[in-house]
Amino acid sequence: MDFGFTDEQAMLRESVARYLAKNHSFEARQAILRSGRPHSDEVWRAFADLGLLTLPFPEAAGGLGGSVVDLVAVGELFGEHLLVEPYVASVLLAGRALAEAGEQPAAKHWLGRIMAGEALAAFAHEEAGGTAEPSQVAVRCRESAGGYRLDGEKRLVLGGADADVLVVTARTGGEPGEHRGLALLLVEPGAPGVRVTPFTTVDGRSAAHVGFDAVEVPAENRLSADAHGAITRTVDGAVIALAAEAVGAMGALLRQTGEYAVAREQFGTPIARFQAVAHRLADMKIACTKARATLLYTAALAEAGRAAPRDLSVLKAQVGRLGRAVGEAAVQTHGGIGMTDELAVGHYLKRLLVIDAMFGQSDYHYRVVGAAAS
């Protein structure tokens, strides 16, 4: 068994780390947030140059054929640097869903543009149920004269306000709770009947709620029927990438909080000397260690094609709960300054809260694990 990064993965990680260290300090990141733009085009171009936009896609589709573990190797860095660029939204969610459609011409066209850095896509999937389980999808798509008519609403579509195209999960048949009757559709955000309500998430990301009122979708924009498997694979890939981000953010919080506890003096001594503070640091390290072990092991399982739904639930639940705990402990240890917008600590906490809330909160996934027959 070997759970370390390969030489190639270490090189990829090193090149991305070097770029981010030089160009994506916390101050640079805050400047991007203040710019009024959803993210930095410059960073996105650099991602294209580094090969990140083609990394996850098969070579046959023009990608680099990267593995799950490649994405974990860079995902930890994205978390460490609090990236707001829509990598998960456009590349890992929408892009992956497009790649699932294979040779379908419309999918191929948009995937090509995403990989080239010419277009951004968003994956409109989550509804109000608090879980990413595809069978919960209720948005309807009925056959119409020109193809399909789409009705319903998607909540918190990452990158949904800036996307050139939306990849929408919808139901052509069956009822919520059933695996059958799910489809992936391409929808242009400017199409009549598409309501985009843009907002910024608490962690600084551009997102939108997207409603569909009798939106006409041409037949050729249906990417795949019977899409339960394709949606599951797409979401699972994103969950692992988000877990890697969470673990990267947790590691950064642990390091910064340890350094702060040594530097900060009260009552004439570094606060790290106080056992109540030291033990909170220890608990943070325990949480980080557990989360990272589960991330690396689950990634290895996924790469071997052996990650069961239960394994993904364990991962999502652990990074959700442990990430939140580490974030809250970091703010508490920093005291008043940890409550301010000017320190990275609170931004990490908010990133971790968002990761916990998306694709099923930890409580949901724990119950899935506890209910599973073993």
Interacting residues with other proteins (CB under 8 A): 1-6, 69, 254, 258, 261-262, 270, 272, 275, 278-279, 281-283, 285-286, 289-294, 296-301, 303-304, 306, 311, 313-314, 317-318, 321, 363, 365-371, 374
Kindly give the pairing relationship between strand 165-171 and strand 121-124.
Answer: parallel
**C-beta closer to other proteins: residue 190 or 370:** 370
How far is the C-alpha of 42 from the C-alpha of 19, rounded, in Å?
12
Are 123 and 112 spatial neighbours (Cβ–Cβ below 8 Å)?
A: no
Residue closer to other proteins by CB (options 33, 69) is 69
CB atoms within 10 A of CB 259: 11
Identify the helix (H) or strand (E) that includes residue 138: none
Closer residue to other proteins in complex, CB, 153/283: 283
Distance CA 324, CA 182 (A): 33
Closest approach of other proteins to the CB of residue 211, in Å: 31
Q: What's the closest the beta carbon of residue 137 comes to other proteins, in angstroms? A: 23
Minimum CB distance to other proteins, residue 350 (Å): 23
Nearest to 326 by CA among 248, 254, 243: 254
Whether the Cβ atoms of residue 216 and residue 318 lie closer than 8 Å to each other: no
CB nearer to other proteins: give 281 or 349. 281
Name which of 26 and 297 has its Cβ closer to other proteins. Answer: 297
Nearer to other proteins, 6 or 200 (CB): 6
Min dist CB 286 to other proteins, Å, is: 6
Shortest separation between residue 331's beta carbon and other proteins, angstroms: 17
Q: How far is 8 from 70, CA to CA, in rounded Å?
A: 9
Give Cα separations from 316 to 82, 238, 322 (angstroms): 19, 11, 10
Question: CB of 362: closest distance to other proteins in angstroms?
Answer: 8
